[in-house]
Amino acid sequence: MEKNTHLGFKRELPDNNLRVSEQMYRRIFEDSMDGMFLWNNQYQIVNINFAAEQMLGLSKERIIGRSLFEIYPEDKKQEIREHFERVYQYGENSSSIVFDIRGDKQRHFDYSTKREIVEGLNVTVFKDITEKVEIEQQLRKSETLNVIGELAAGIAHEIRNPMTALKGFIQLLESSIKKEHTMYYQVITSELERIDSIINEFLLLAKPKEIRFQEKDIQQIMKETIDLLNAQALLHNVQFITAYDEPLPLIFCEPNQLKKVFVNLIKNAIEVMPNGGAITVTISKEENHQIHISIKDEGFGISKEKINKLGEPFFTTKERGTGLGLMVSYRIIEEHKGVISAESEEGKGTVFHIFLPVNHMNYS
Ligand code: ADP
Ligand code: MG
């Protein structure tokens, strides 16, 4: 009687079984959700599976026979080389890497390599973890926001009281200041104003004492905001183009807070167009009881590396920036159970998208 191994295979596989077994492994390779490369000891790619083709946007025909190092962008080669050096040293290694795939947004991958899974053949397995990384970033961001929000109220009030005294006394001194010292006086007042504006932004972080959510016309809020900023826009040669869906449902919101968000985004848009341009504002009704607001500028845009930093406290690229405007805005949108994101092309401009639920009480 033939003995079975513990896997249930007969010890001596007849041809037919061998084929079945080979087919099985081929299917596992092809249908795996993780991307896989098989390569030989000359770093030549022997096979890649379907998931790998999809994730990297490569085709099997074009890739088989090429060197592993050829398919990576120049600036990643060193990183990849180090990974393979460790593989040769220890037999296996795991790393992660960030790629631009076809000019798309950056994607994050975890990958591991094992040597000699069969003689002369090595395998690299990788997984697209972009979504996971993004969720983690979001979580970290909103955690930081919460902590800062709590700190903000306390500290800002503490600073505000001595500030009021300082401002008062400085004003008293104005008339008695010698002419040659007026420069100092100007610097002191302008710096005090700056501290004041930072504190005000900080205070906004703390939950307003009286949150009054009410049903409001979002279009009206936007119109008031644009009226408010029109003079500043004209001064910088910036025009507004607006397109609002009609009719729009009323939305349950804290109107002053939303206005603050729009002011922040539009101010930023004006500031990135030193030579003028257009700001396009749209408001439209989406499915699932959502309102979509977009604010688009024609400014210099923001790089892929920096776009994830938007909304982080104190992230600023401006000499006199505070890096608080977007943080406050992100927080307010979060409190409305909405979502805010930015899309940007360097040299062309940036669009901020806000999605707000019409009645967020139903969602919380
Ligand atoms: P601040 O305006 O004080 O710098 P914000 O929080 O408003 O602070 O913005 C943070 C940073 O985000 C800016 O310094 C800028 O680098 C970037 N940013 C914001 N809006 C835009 C935009 N429309 N286009 C390009 N970069 C932007
Ligand atoms: Mg700003």
Of 39-53, 189-203, 228-242, the least confident? 189-203
Atom 19 of ligand 1, residue of closest alpha carbon: 268
Q: Are 327 and 148 within 8 A, CB to CB?
A: yes
Burial level of 56, CB count in 10 A (0-12/13-18/19+)?
Answer: buried
Cα 295–298–304 angle (5° rounding)? 85
Atom 20 of ligand 1, residue of closest alpha carbon: 268
| Closest ligand 1 atom, residue 295 Cα | 23
Atom 18 of ligand 1, residue of closest alpha carbon: 268
Q: Relative to the alpha carbon of 328, which ligand is closest?
A: 1
Ligand 2 centroid to Cα of residue 139, in Å, is 23
Question: 326, 332, 352: which to mutate for ligand 1, most atoms within 8 A of CB?
Answer: 326
Ligand 1 site: residues with CB under 6 angstroms?
A: 264, 268-269, 272, 297, 299, 301-302, 310, 315-318, 321-327, 350
Residue 103's pLDDT is 66
Model pLDDT for residues 164-175, shown as the tens digit of each residue: 888 888 888 888
More confident of the two residues 1 and 255: 255
Evaluate the omega torsion of the peptide bond into residue 247 and state whether it is cis, within 30 degrees of 0: yes
Confidence tier at 74 by pLDDT (50, 70, 90):
confident
The pLDDT mean for the chain works out to 86
| Domains along the sequence of the chain with CATH | 16-128 (3.30.450.20), 130-207 (1.10.287), 211-364 (3.30.565.10)
Model pLDDT for residues 188-205, shown as the tens digit of each residue: 988 888 888 777 777 766
Q: Are 353 and 341 within 8 A, CB to CB?
A: yes
Residue 1's pLDDT is 42
User: Is pLDDT above 90 for 153?
Assistant: no
Q: Relative to the alpha carbon of 323, which ligand is closest?
A: 1
Nearest CA to 49 among 72, 25, 71, 74?
Answer: 25
Atom 23 of ligand 1, residue of closest alpha carbon: 269
Provide the residues around ligand 2 (an ion) whose CB is within 5 A.
268, 325
Tell me the CA distances in angstroms from 17 to 7, 11, 31, 118, 300, one per residue in order: 13, 11, 21, 20, 63
| Closest ligand 1 atom, residue 329 Cα | 6
Atom 8 of ligand 1, residue of closest alpha carbon: 323
Model pLDDT for residues 251-275, shown as the tens digit of each residue: 999 998 899 899 999 999 999 999 9
91: left (phi over 0), alpha (psi -120 to 50) or beta: left
Ligand 1 centroid to Cα of residue 301, in Å, is 10
